[in-house]
A and B are shown apart, each in its own frame.
Chain A
């Protein structure tokens, strides 16, 4: 059974940083690209970033480009999202998802709240 478990969220002040992690199990992690998708409270889904199987190719939404960095450690079956210069509008539930085109499995998400 595929499992994706996010961690590392919390409350942070504007301008602060957080590092999200996503632990994967139940599939061959380095066979798949991975993605982060966020959902602001009461709102819809927003694609944030993705990374190919090896980590050599990444993409970012304009809203996070230059502030967020996606990475992965295939030896640890883990996906990461380093978030810097956080803004109030980054407040959301962050999901990791399996796949780099459509997303066949999603984690439950981890809440990031940016507030002073």
Chain B
């Protein structure tokens, strides 16, 4: 199985800060990685697909990139509405696997 190591587990930043969340895959994924946002008590929502594709309706402050097997979700200017847990998800090889999640808080 492909292991997805997500970091940090918790992140506290100020409104307007640039925030970066990383997922390292245990093997190559090509570009088959997605990012989801889950607000407390809600279902996850898709932010990014295929590493950097922005889902329709998602604010442009969210972006995704990759360097080798290290995938990054960036929030260019953190907003109060971004308080949530974020998960990466690989769909290169079955079984599909998720990162452990990163909880983002406002300082």
Contacts and interface: CB of A to CB of B under 8 A. Distances in A.
A106 B95 contact: no
A44 B32 contact: no
Q: A-side binding surface: helix, strand, loop or mixed?
A: loop
A47 B61 CA distance: 28
Which size class do A's interface residues fall under? 10 to 19
Contact of A103 (B42, B46, B50, B95): B46
Given A45-B87, A47-B97, A59-B94, A102 B46 contact: yes
Contacts of B43: 95, 106-109
A103 B94 contact: no
Query: Which of B42, B46, B55, B99 has the most chain A CB within a 10 Å cutoff?
Result: B46
B32 to A, nearest CB: 7
A45 B46 CA distance: 13
Contacts of B44: 45, 95, 103, 106
Given A44-B100, A45-B101, 15 more contacts: A44-B99, A44-B101, A47-B96, A50-B96, A62-B95, A95-B43, A102-B46, A102-B50, A103-B36, A103-B44, A103-B46, A103-B89, A104-B49, A104-B55, A105-B46
Interface of A: 44-47, 50, 59, 61-62, 95, 101-109
